[in-house]
Amino acid sequence: MSKRRIMVAMSGGVDSSVSAWRLKQDGEDIAGMFMKNWEEDDRDGVCPAEQDADDARAVAQALGIELHTRNFALEYWDQVFETFLAEYRAGRTPNPDILCNREIKFRTFLDHARDLGTDAIATGHYCRTEARDGVHRLLRGRDSNKDQSYFLYAVGHEQLAHTLFPVGDMDKGDVRQAALDAGLPVHDKKDSTGICFIGERDFNGFLAKYVDTEPGEIRTDDGRVIGEHNGLAFHTLGQRQGLGIGGVRGRPDAPWYVLHKDLDNNILYVGQGHDHEWLRSTELSASQLAWVTGAAPQQGARLTAKVRYRQADQACIVESVEGDRMALVFDQPQRAVTPGQSVVLYDHDECLGGGIIDTMNAYTP
Ligand SMILES: Nc1ncnc2c1ncn2[C@@H]1O[C@H](COP(=O)(O)OP(=O)(O)OP(=O)(O)O)[C@@H](O)[C@H]1O
């Protein structure tokens, strides 16, 4: 049997670099691909993507493998960024990394890798897969601190069958150590943070270029108008900073939190108290459902869920799944369940899939 060929998605970061190195150590026949998914605009001369491409090139050279580069900026714009903007325009808070995984890394990239005659792809995500009864399942990464299965819930088993996660069984510390031991030039490179196309720059300034917003009233939970917001899109439920208002009523220093966005009337409701009761939901509904194996969980199933990345597992019950709509009930109230974000379901270590949050039962004025 001829040896399989693997295309490693190489970002120039430490995780994908160690992924490539591990596969090479295992004697696999590998090549790398760097994707450019965003055309640079006005980052004051700083061009992180160029630096990343250089890093990917340096790692490929150190490993003695071929590096392909592809520009998927058009695909990214159409399939990720347009949806991202549409969600913000609708007053919701999207997660573009989840869409990027589904549409770009595990579709466009996978297709390109196949066109180049490779049999599988590899990425540096902290996840694992397991084939059971011939169907590939998605498991959490072994390093619970770095687990990225939340971002991959919308990738199906057909794609996972052709995917390797070489660092999914490693701790981040061991990955960095491996990079150092292997002499990879990126061993001490900083982890990337934030949304990839925005990077470190001002988020609201970026968004304002694409989304028209109207100023409107800021009201307190007891109905007083205490200021003006600059556009509901710039505010996220549960968010603390950036309201530009002082304290009132004997609690001048207590921080304010976004409690509710009244989209019909363009009013931002705020209140004092991180765990304000208006932010608490015990139920939510979600749509745009995606199940890794293709099978939805049973009604009544007791599972755990995350309504945001890095949240601890929350016990819940699947109240209903009908067509493309699911309702969940949580054992404990959840803070700041946010429309547009994803709810992801787990059965112990297995990530089953999830959907995009539409409504929750937090109090609304
Ligand atoms: N520009 C890119 N080109 C090729 N592959 C990429 C690119 N960006 C991300 N990837 C792939 O997706 C994986 C997860 O991306 P993410 O942005 O979460 O990076 P990360 O966890 O910081 O990993 P890394 O340390 O490899 O950058 C990467 O490990 C890599 O395999």
Select which of 127, 196, 316, 351 is catalytic: 196
Check which CATH number belongs to the domain holding 9 and give it: 3.40.50.620
Known active-site residue 316: no
Instruction: Give whole-number Cα distances, 23 to 108, 128, 167, 280, in Å.
Output: 22, 15, 10, 46
Considering the domain boundaries, does residue 315 fall inside one?
A: yes
Helices (H) and strands (E) in the chain, counts: 9, 17
Last residue of a domain, one of 256, 274, 292: 274
Last residue of a domain, one of 274, 292, 319: 274
In this structure, the answer to whether residues 34 and 102 fall within a common structural domain is yes
In this structure, the answer to whether residues 19 and 106 fall within a common structural domain is yes
Considering the domain boundaries, does residue 232 fall inside one?
A: yes
Q: Is 14 annotated as a binding residue?
A: yes
User: Is the CB of residue 303 below 6 angstroms from any atom belonging to ligand 1?
Assistant: no
Q: How many domains are there within the chain?
A: 3
Considering the domain boundaries, does residue 308 fall inside one?
A: yes
Q: For ligand 1, what atom is nearest to the CA of residue 189?
A: 25
In this structure, the answer to whether residues 298 and 259 fall within a common structural domain is no
Distance 38 CA to ligand 1 centre (A): 14
Mutate to test the pocket of ligand 1, among 8, 10, 16, 126 (most ligand atoms within 8 A of CB): 16
In this structure, the answer to whether residues 75 and 150 fall within a common structural domain is yes
User: Is the CB of residue 191 below 6 angstroms from any atom belonging to ligand 1?
Assistant: yes
In this structure, the answer to whether residues 139 and 102 fall within a common structural domain is yes
The interface predicted TM-score of the complex, written ipTM, equals 0.98
Q: For ligand 1, what atom is nearest to the CA of residue 196?
A: 17
Estimate to the nearest angstrom the gap between the alpha carbon of 89 and the chain centroid.
19
- Residue nearest (by alpha carbon) to ligand 1 atom 10: 11
For residue 122 the two structure tokens come to 């590899």
In this structure, the answer to whether residues 48 and 127 fall within a common structural domain is yes
Check which CATH number belongs to the domain holding 248 and give it: 2.30.30.280
Estimate to the nearest angstrom the gap between the alpha carbon of 134 and the chain centroid.
28
Considering the domain boundaries, does residue 174 fall inside one?
A: yes
Last residue of a domain, one of 274, 302, 324: 274
Query: What is the pLDDT tens value at each position of the chain, 365 positions in all?
Result: 567 899 999 999 999 999 999 999 999 999 999 999 998 765 555 577 889 999 999 999 999 999 999 999 999 999 999 999 999 999 999 999 999 999 999 999 999 999 999 999 999 999 999 999 999 999 999 999 999 999 999 999 999 999 999 999 999 999 999 999 999 999 999 988 777 777 777 889 999 999 999 999 999 999 999 899 999 999 999 998 655 565 555 566 788 999 999 999 999 999 999 999 999 999 999 999 999 999 999 999 999 999 999 999 999 999 999 999 999 999 999 999 999 999 999 999 999 999 999 999 999 89
In this structure, the answer to whether residues 217 and 294 fall within a common structural domain is no
Considering the domain boundaries, does residue 202 fall inside one?
A: no
Mutate to test the pocket of ligand 1, among 8, 15, 112, 145 (most ligand atoms within 8 A of CB): 15
Range of the domain at 234: 213-274
What is residue 49's predicted lDDT score, i.e. its pLDDT?
A: 85
Check which CATH number belongs to the domain holding 321 and give it: 2.40.30.10
Considering the domain boundaries, does residue 207 fall inside one?
A: no
Select which of 100, 127, 316, 351 is catalytic: 100
Distance 283 CA to ligand 1 centre (A): 34
Q: Is 9 annotated as a binding residue?
A: yes
Beta partners for residue 33, in sequence order: 9, 68
In this structure, the answer to whether residues 171 and 90 fall within a common structural domain is yes
User: Is the CB of residue 123 below 6 angstroms from any atom belonging to ligand 1?
Assistant: yes
In this structure, the answer to whether residues 100 and 227 fall within a common structural domain is no
In this structure, the answer to whether residues 175 and 223 fall within a common structural domain is no
Q: CA 218, CA 223: separation in Å to the nearest integer?
A: 9
What is residue 154's predicted lDDT score, i.e. its pLDDT?
A: 98
In this structure, the answer to whether residues 113 and 140 fall within a common structural domain is yes
What is residue 114's predicted lDDT score, i.e. its pLDDT?
A: 96
What is residue 245's predicted lDDT score, i.e. its pLDDT?
A: 60
- CB neighbour list of residue 349: distance below 8 Å, 6 or more residues apart: 139, 140
Considering the domain boundaries, does residue 206 fall inside one?
A: no
Known active-site residue 100: yes
Considering the domain boundaries, does residue 235 fall inside one?
A: yes
In this structure, the answer to whether residues 125 and 148 fall within a common structural domain is yes
User: Is the CB of residue 15 below 6 angstroms from any atom belonging to ligand 1?
Assistant: yes
User: Is the CB of residue 124 below 6 angstroms from any atom belonging to ligand 1?
Assistant: yes
What is residue 195's predicted lDDT score, i.e. its pLDDT?
A: 76
Distance 48 CA to ligand 1 centre (A): 13
Q: For ligand 1, what atom is nearest to the CA of residue 9?
A: 5
